[in-house]
């Protein structure tokens, strides 16, 4: 596969499908399982993962290293080697099935409608060709435009992603760019054809905060202008809070919690998500948030733990009667609020979170005198309850939807 193909920049001749009905989600992932047979056994990288993303909306995927974020996203663009990968389930992009699709269909998908910003910029840029030429070729494969026009678009995109003196750097080779510049060049290549679906895998990790903000703005512009569906994979919960309508938390290759961003960030109901939120330092120092790392290590994907795969690390395992956590995998079930789901046996997770977890992780959110939540948080909780109830398919707390229709990033079947 050539570099431009990987970055979603190669056009096929046939048009990729559209959703069957106008308000169908643009991306539908159902019961996706991805396994890699190896000498040591079968790596169960992704298991029974389902979610949907509508046009104009952003799903944020979070989880520790090795939780299956990249593997599941690469499956969406048909990027796994069919010889060495076992894939099952269904992935529909714009109404067309990706799993089992032939190469022509996949090339059409990656060229016309979907693009990926890779975690590793070197994956997408070919070392033999000038950066601008690769972006221009990507634009020409998709559009009937002259070489001069394609070069102009490449310079414009490089400029928009913040490459200084883009008109002179356009002829540089990837090795002449710094790591951060290569990442921006790859973003330019992924965006040059205004994809309907963009998968951004840690798109801003190597970038300083100013450029990071610029790139996030650019993605939001793309979404507003073209109604793109975006899947944003990131370790940065600040980025999630800023751009994601819905959040999917992954652990050991499975969805463990999902729902509207504000609900997940304000009242998460799964202990792994509690751990993720409590392990983020507040570098501004503006709050009293404590840094509490998650104990232990991520689960083996060759021999996953029985029951809930988080049980060996979960500080709340003994609150569930008997051996349930150790023996029985929890289903992904409805949380307290509509549109919010969690995979956990605890029967009163909201109470545990508000009375135990939050006071330890963020004591300044609790009123010292009354022992109650501070009024601001109380208001937020009431808002979540009200808004998710009123608009179960719309993420609460956004001032306005950014173009397109509503998102429903829900790991249950759509
Ligand atoms: N080709 C492969 N063969 C065997 N195992 C693989 C292969 N590709 C990925 N894996 C394994 O699948 C698991 C999930 O990997 P993945 O890259 O999706 O993690 P991730 O959530 O993106 O992590 P990170 O945050 O570090 O990028 C990991 O344990 C990884 O080692
Ligand atoms: S099911 Fe049990 S082990 Fe798993 S997260 Fe919930 S309480 Fe912890
Ligand atoms: Mg990854």
SS3 call for 200: strand
For residue 13, what are the CA distances in angstroms to 10, 134, 191? 10, 20, 20
Distance (angstroms) between ligand 1 centre and the Cα of 46 equals 9
| DSSP conformation class of 313 | G
More confident residue, 281 or 315: 315
Neighbours of 251 (CB within 10 A): 26
- Which residue among 69, 82, 248 has the greatest number of ligand 1 atoms within 8 angstroms of its CB, and so is best to mutate? 69
Q: How far is the CA of 60 from the centre of ligand 1 (A)?
A: 18
pLDDT attached to residue 411: 43
186 and 118 Cβ atoms separated by less than 8 Å: yes
* Region 219-227 average pLDDT: 91
Rounded Cα distance between 128 and 117, Å, is: 20
Tell me the per-residue pLDDT of 102-117, one tens digit each, with 9 for 90 and over.
999 998 888 778 999 9
- The set of protein residues with a Cβ atom below 6 angstroms from ligand 2 is 270-271, 308, 310-311, 314, 316-317, 320, 325, 330, 344-346
Cα separation, 350 vs 337, whole angstroms: 10
CA 349 – CA 269 distance, rounded (Å): 5
What is the whole-number distance in angstroms between the Cα of residue 77 and the centre of ligand 3? 15
In angstroms, rounded to a whole number, what is the distance separating the alpha carbons of residues 14 and 91? 19
What residues line ligand 1, using a CB cutoff of 6 Å? 36, 38, 43, 45, 63, 65-71, 119, 301
pTM of the entire structure?
A: 0.87
The number of residues making up the chain comes to 414
Order the strands of the 341-342 sheet from edge to edge: 114-117, 197-201, 229-233, 58-62, 246-251, 254-260, 341-342, 333-334
- Choice from 34, 63, 67, 234 to test ligand 1 binding pocket (greatest atom count within 8 A of CB): 67
Query: What pLDDT is attached to residue 393?
Result: 41
Q: Mapping DSSP to helix (H, G, I), strand (E, B) and coil, where does residue 25 land?
A: coil
Distance CA 250, CA 219 (A): 23
Q: Say which DSSP state 112 is in.
A: I
**CA distances from residue 134 to 172, 220, 304 in whole angstroms, order as listed:** 11, 24, 42
- Atom from ligand 2 closest to the CA of residue 326: 3
At 38, list the tokens: 């190896």
- CA-proximal residue: ligand 1, atom 2 (nearest): 36
User: Who's near 332: CB < 8 A, 6+ residues apart?
Assistant: 255, 256, 258, 341, 342, 343, 411, 412
Residue-averaged pLDDT of the chain: 85
For 258, the token pair is 């999902």
> What pLDDT does residue 395 have?
37
Sheet holding 96-97, edge to edge: 41-53, 27-38, 86-93, 96-97
Based on the number of CB atoms within 10 Å of its own CB, is 414 exposed (0-12), middle (13-18) or buried (19 or more)? middle
358-404 per-position pLDDT tens digit: 888 888 887 777 777 788 888 887 887 776 556 544 333 333 332 22
Over range 193-222, report the average pLDDT: 89
381 vs 340: CA distance, rounded Å = 13
How does residue 205 score in pLDDT terms, banded at 50, 70 and 90?
confident
Q: Which of 38, 60, 66 to mutate to test the pocket of ligand 1 (most atoms within 8 A of CB)?
A: 66
Of the chain, the percentage scoring pLDDT greater than 90 comes to 60
Ligand closest to Cα of 269 equals: 2
Ligand number, closest to the Cα atom of 72? 1
> Could you give the 3-state DSSP secondary structure of residue 341?
strand
Q: What pLDDT is recorded for position 33?
A: 98
């Amino acid at each position: 596969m050539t570099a431009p193909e990987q970055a979603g920049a190669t056009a096929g001749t046939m048009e990729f499908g559209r959703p069957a009905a106008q308000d169908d989600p643009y991306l539908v992932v159902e019961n996706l399982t991805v396994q890699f047979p190896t000498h040591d056994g079968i790596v169960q990288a992704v298991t029974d993962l389902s979610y949907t993303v509508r046009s104009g909306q952003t799903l944020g995927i979070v989880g520790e290293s090795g939780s299956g974020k990249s593997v599941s996203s690469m499956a969406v663009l048909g990027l796994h080697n069919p010889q060495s990968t076992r894939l099952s389930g269904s992935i529909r992009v714009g109404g067309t099935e990706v799993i089992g699709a032939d190469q022509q269909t996949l090339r059409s998908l990656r060229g016309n409608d979907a693009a990926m910003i890779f975690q590793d910029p070197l994956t997408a840029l070919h070392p033999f060709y000038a950066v601008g030429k690769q972006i221009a070729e990507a634009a020409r494969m998709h559009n009937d435009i002259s070489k001069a026009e394609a070069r102009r678009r490449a310079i414009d995109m490089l400029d928009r992603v913040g490459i200084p003196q883009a008109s002179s750097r356009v002829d540089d080779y990837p090795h002449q760019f710094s790591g951060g510049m290569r990442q921006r060049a790859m973003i330019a290549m992924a965006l040059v054809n205004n994809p309907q679906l963009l998968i951004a895998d840690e798109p801003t990790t190597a970038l300083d905060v100013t450029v990071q903000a610029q790139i996030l703005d650019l993605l939001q512009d793309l979404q507003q202008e073209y109604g793109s569906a975006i899947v944003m994979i990131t370790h940065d919960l600040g980025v999630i809070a800023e751009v994601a309508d819905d959040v999917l938390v992954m652990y050991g290759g499975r969805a463990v919690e999902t729902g509207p961003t504000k609900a997940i960030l304000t009242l998460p109901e799964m202990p792994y998500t509690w751990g993720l939120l409590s392990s983020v330092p507040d570098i501004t120092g503006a709050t009293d948030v404590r840094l509490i790392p998650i104990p232990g290590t991520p689960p083996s994907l060759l021999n996953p733990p029985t029951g809930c795969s988080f049980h060996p690390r979960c500080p709340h395992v003994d609150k569930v009667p008997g051996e349930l956590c150790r023996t029985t995998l929890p289903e992904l079930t409805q949380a307290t609020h509509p549109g919010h789901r969690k995979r956990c046996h605890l029967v009163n997770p909201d109470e545990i979170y508000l009375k135990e977890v939050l006071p330890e992780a963020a004591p300044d959110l609790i009123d010292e005198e009354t022992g109650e939540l501070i009024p601001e948080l109380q208001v937020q909780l009431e808002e979540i309850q009200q808004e998710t109830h009123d608009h179960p398919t719309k993420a609460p707390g956004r001032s306005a939807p950014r173009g397109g229709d509503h998102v429903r990033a829900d790991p249950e079947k759509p």
